[in-house]
A and B are shown apart, each in its own frame.
Chain A
Amino acid sequence: MLRFLVRRLLQAIPTLFILSILVFAWLRSLPGGPAAALLGDKATPEKIANLNHVLGLDQPIFVQYFGFLGRALTGDFGNSLVSTQPVMGEIVTFLPATIELGMTAMIIAIVIGIPAGYLSARYRGGPVDNVVIVLSLIGVAVPVFFLGYMMQDILAAPLGLPSQGRQAAGLDATAITNFAILDGIMTSEWDAVWDAIKHLILPACALATIPLAVITRITRASVLDVLNEDFIRTANSKGLTQQVVRTRHVLRNGLLPVVTTIGLQTGALLGGAVLTERVFNFRGLGFLLAEGIERRDYPRLQALLLFGAVVYVLVNMLVDISYGIIDPRVRVR
């Protein structure tokens, strides 16, 4: 098991390495060169030349790359053009909001998606199955940002849910970790906890649609596959109760591909978060990214792109490891 873990960790390194090269190359291929891009509107020829020297852009490309890599490893991505603050500081401040939103969305997607997919497979061809299939197909066809606006427009008022931001105006909650719910619990400010939950509901539902649709469909397909397996027939030939057959034999095997899907979808959440957080003015990494795009804040974009890809690779690695724990065949291979 330990060897398996170490091997997985080592396997991620070349991917991360190539990623860093790509993101480095990305900034260098910007129009007018990186210095112009970094300076934004304030660019003048002298300033560009000066910055080129300061950033070492007049040095050989390899020196530049390893400089970039070294700074990136220490978390130094320069200053945001919008806020003039260090980008890394921004990420640290905004990350908890996105984690909170993403986790809520994934919990919604998992809690609804797995049972829906399972029931759909169990009653294949029936009305439940048809409804689930149609909904999951529509789920991936609806633009996420439009869904967000529609929720604001239609659901927010009747349900009494806020449609903007993370915190009601005038509520002076103490921020410790920036995880709004956690902070509220730590300081026993229960109104803040409730307020945070209310602010999460709509954006999390919007963000959950695509993972929900995908998880549902994968669960359905995978359970259908497992139901046709020989070992299910064996389990039935043993006279096990339906409940044991379903949980121990069908679900346990059927959920293996779902675990992978959950990993992939978690990694891809940042994409959806850009849209959702923009719509709901939910100040997380996606909001930061959307704002960065509008203002062409390249240092911020560079850091966020690298961050997003690294998170994606790491989440995948973690899921992969947990996959090794639940599927004994993976460990040996």
Chain B
Amino acid sequence: MALLEVRDLKVDFVRRGERSFTAVDEISFDVEPGQTVGLVGESGCGKSVTSLAIMRLLARRGNKVSGSVRFEGTDLLKLSDREMRDRRGRDLGMVFQDPLSSLNPVIPIGLQITEVLERHRGMSRKAASVEATDLLDKVGIPDPSRRLSEYPHQLSGGMRQRALIAIALACRPRLLIADEPTTALDVTIQAQILALLRELVQDTGTALIMITHDLGVVAGLCDEVNVLYGGKIVERAQRHQLFGEPRHPYTHGLLASIPRLDAGRGEKLVPIRGSVSDNIPWEGGCAFAPRCPNALPVCREVSPQLVPDQGGLLRCHNPVRPAVAAGGGAR
């Protein structure tokens, strides 16, 4: 049995007096224990909403979540609020994008760690303090015992993200969700944080859902990758498969638009045309069709289904053929 089984997850944004908007739809994927799964896509593709829906952190007002999220067999969406609170932080941890705004500005770092330990591991304040020092040390924060009494604004951006990771991992959850954990950081710090995540995940056997728009992050970290577009999974593949032979024109476009050092001189960067605002609704075809170089008439009429393809999954009427895959393909 997989650690996490997401089936047909759908989130509608419902606002009074406005038409509801489907943010994500038909999201199904599994996460095995210890596995690292990537959710990749442009901003607005629904990857963050997916993660918040799994954690049940979407506001109840204005969001309608359906489908199922089975964690070790239990459907998280069916749990009571209290039962879910028992699991969050203990079984599932989460790291967020902006480490400054994600930490409480008026509470010392130490308390923000110890409160999880007290809550889920029943530790005394004192024992939790010792454990917190240990945790800060483990995530690579120097002089951890002094840092406990400091406030978030006194730490650097990288240190804050390390502290957030320490909080998320404090109770050794079996699943960690990292939502763009490096986006708000400097490039050099990004690499450090990624290395830290990889190391921790390997050491503790924690499964990881990595949410990112950055294919570089995926390449370095993920076993399996889900590419999201317009709120749906458009392609799923093992890492090497995805980078070697991208099948969906969108994935192909993402890879082709990355500058590469080993590209030939004459080769041009090929950006994806248009923007997310050009999307057409999935009901009337493929949301990506208006921007797709491979689009056929059928793409604007029939909504493509997610079907098995080369060991992965693909949602496309006219996929990129391996032989044609030039730019990003030849590895």
Q: Chain A residues in contact with chain B, CB under 8 A?
A: 229-231, 233-242, 244, 248-249, 252-253, 256, 326-329, 332
Contacts and interface: CB of A to CB of B under 8 A. Distances in A.
B85 A329 contact: no
A332 B105 CA distance: 13
Given A240-B119, A328-B151, A253 B105 contact: yes
B172 interface: no
Interface residues of B, number: 31
Given A229-B101, A239-B120, A328 B106 contact: yes
Interface in B93-129: 93-94, 96, 98, 101-107, 115-116, 119-120
Contact of B119 (A238, A249, A252): A238
A276 to B, nearest CB: 36
A240 B116 contact: yes
Contact of B88 (A230, A239, A248, A327): A239
Nearest to B111: A248
A244 B151 CA distance: 19
Contacts of B167: 234, 238
B104 A249 contact: yes
23 contacts: A231-B102, A231-B104, A233-B57, A234-B96, A234-B104, A236-B57, A236-B85, A236-B88, A237-B96, A238-B167, A239-B85, A239-B88, A239-B89, A239-B90, A240-B116, A244-B115, A248-B115, A253-B106, A327-B105, A328-B105, A329-B105, A329-B106, A332-B153
A237 B56 CA distance: 9
B86 interface: yes
Contact of A233 (B84, B93, B96): B96
B85 to A, nearest CB: 5
A242 B119 CA distance: 12
7 closest pairs, A vs B, by CB? A239-B89, A239-B88, A238-B89, A230-B101, A237-B94, A231-B104, A328-B151
Given A230-B102, A231-B103, A239-B116, A329 B153 contact: yes
Contacts of B101: 229-231
Nearest to B116: A238
Nearest to B56: A236
Contacts of A329: 105-106, 151, 153
A240 B102 contact: no
B101 to A, nearest CB: 4
A62 to B, nearest CB: 47
B98 A230 contact: yes
Per DSSP, chain A at the interface is helix
A327 B151 CA distance: 10
Q: Tell which of A233, A239, A242 has the most Cβ of chain B within 10 Å.
A: A239
B164 interface: yes
B106 A256 contact: yes
Contact of A237 (B88, B98, B103, B107): B88
Contacts of B103: 231, 234
B82 to A, nearest CB: 8
A186 B57 CA distance: 56
Nearest to A231: B104
A238 B106 contact: no
Contact of A242 (B85, B86, B94): B85
B88 A234 contact: no
A229 B100 CA distance: 11
A295 B139 CA distance: 73
B164 A234 contact: yes
Q: Tell which of A230, A231, A241, A252 has the most Cβ of chain B within 10 Å.
A: A231
A256 B105 CA distance: 12
A237 to B, nearest CB: 4
A235 B164 CA distance: 11
Contacts of A248: 107, 115
B55 interface: yes
A149 B106 CA distance: 44
B291 interface: no
B94 to A, nearest CB: 4
A125 to B, nearest CB: 8
Q: Tell which of B93, B105, B120, B164 has the most Cβ of chain A within 10 Å.
A: B105
